[in-house]
Amino acid sequence: MKIDNITAETVQKLEMLLEELLPESESQVVSAARYSILNAGKRIRPVLLMEFYKLCGGENFKGALCFAAALEMIHTYSLIHDDLPCMDNDDMRRGKPSCHKQFGETIALLAGDMLLTKAFSVACGADGIPDDRMIKAIEVLSYEAGENGMIGGQEIDLAIENKEADIEIITEMYLKKTSALLVCACKIGCILAGASENELQAAEKYAESLGLAFQIIDDILDKTADEKQLGKPVGSDDKNNKSTYLSKKGIEASRKNAAELTQKALSALEAFSGDKTAVREITLYLLDRKY
């Protein structure tokens, strides 16, 4: 089963919904948000949300897709801000100029702010989702995107620039900066479908391991990937003097760690009784990806 066959329908429906939620406008802020969020991307987080929703027996795909769109808005806002000169100062994203290079820093900052704010409105508009599940899902969305999750990881990332950080701090950063939104995706998919507490815990274990593996592969790609295929300059970690798994352990040990974490993620799926084929394929694809 090829990854495109798994993701195509969800990605197509997501793109259509994002176009509907962010119609063309004379506003530069809206144009900048559209420029960033409609610029391809793997859409791994919304795809995982929808796959875990299906895995747990969910049937209101339109309602769940609103949460998938909201999550992609938060992910995109984080990328816009991450590329800014005050953060990682990256000029390219997915083969195109970063949002701030195309629209200027002020508009890019506001576009990110707008996407973050709009995400919660979009989530609240998910028709047909029981109120208790919606509230719990929004709580997870807020928590994992905030200071205990992604924002906390970004803070650590900035704090250890130009410093030697040990592997424990690097792991904490990855769990927050990368795993958090993957945890968000998988748990929200489960919550919206009415999954059991055991399934929620398994989804969290899966996503934490997947996120660590994902970030380790990112570190390797930043060092070894083809720049055109990656869609942005390689070597940014070295440029910013960042401590990473790769800088601490080297390529071979890092690849081994990523493979072990991927197996740990796959093992967590045993808690689910539904068809796990699609999630397994996505998991293995992320380990072997080239960009």
Q: What is the pLDDT of residue 5?
A: 84
Q: Which two tokens stand for residue 108?
A: 């890019």
Mean of the per-residue pLDDT values for the chain? 94
Q: pLDDT of 148-206, one tens digit each? A: 999 999 999 999 988 899 999 999 999 999 999 999 999 999 999 999 999 999 999 99
Euclidean distance between CA atoms 235 and 246, whole angstroms? 12
Quick one: tokens of 61?
């795909």
Q: Which two tokens stand for residue 147?
A: 């200071």
Predicted confidence (pLDDT) per residue in 243-266, tens digit:
899 999 999 999 999 999 999 999
Question: Any idea of the CA torsion for 181, 187, 188, 190, to the nearest 10 degrees?
Answer: 150
Other Cβ atoms less than 10 A from the Cβ of 121: the count is: 12
Q: Choose which CATH entry (1.10.600.10, 1.10.260.30, 1.10.3720.10, 1.10.10.60) describes domain 3-288.
A: 1.10.600.10
Provide the pLDDT for residue 238. 63
Q: Are 118 and 21 in contact (CB under 8 A)?
A: yes
- According to the model, what pLDDT value does residue 105 have? 98
- pTM for the whole structure: 0.95
Tens-place pLDDT, residues 67-119: 999 999 999 999 999 999 999 899 999 889 999 999 999 999 999 999 999 99
- Domains of the chain: which residue ranges? 3-288
Residue 4: what pLDDT?
Answer: 80
User: Could you tell me what percent of the chain has a pLDDT over 90?
Assistant: 85
pLDDT at 1 over 60: no
pLDDT, tens digit, for every residue of 201-223?
A: 999 999 999 999 999 999 999 88
Mean pLDDT, residues 20-33: 98
In the numeric block, the tokens 């440029």 are attached to 239
Q: Catalogue the long-range contacts made by 80-87 (C-beta closer than 8 Å, 24 or more residues apart).
A: 80/32, 80/36, 80/108, 80/109, 80/111, 80/112, 80/115, 81/108, 81/109, 81/112, 82/154, 83/108, 84/108, 84/109, 87/154, 87/158
Q: How many residues does the chain have?
A: 291
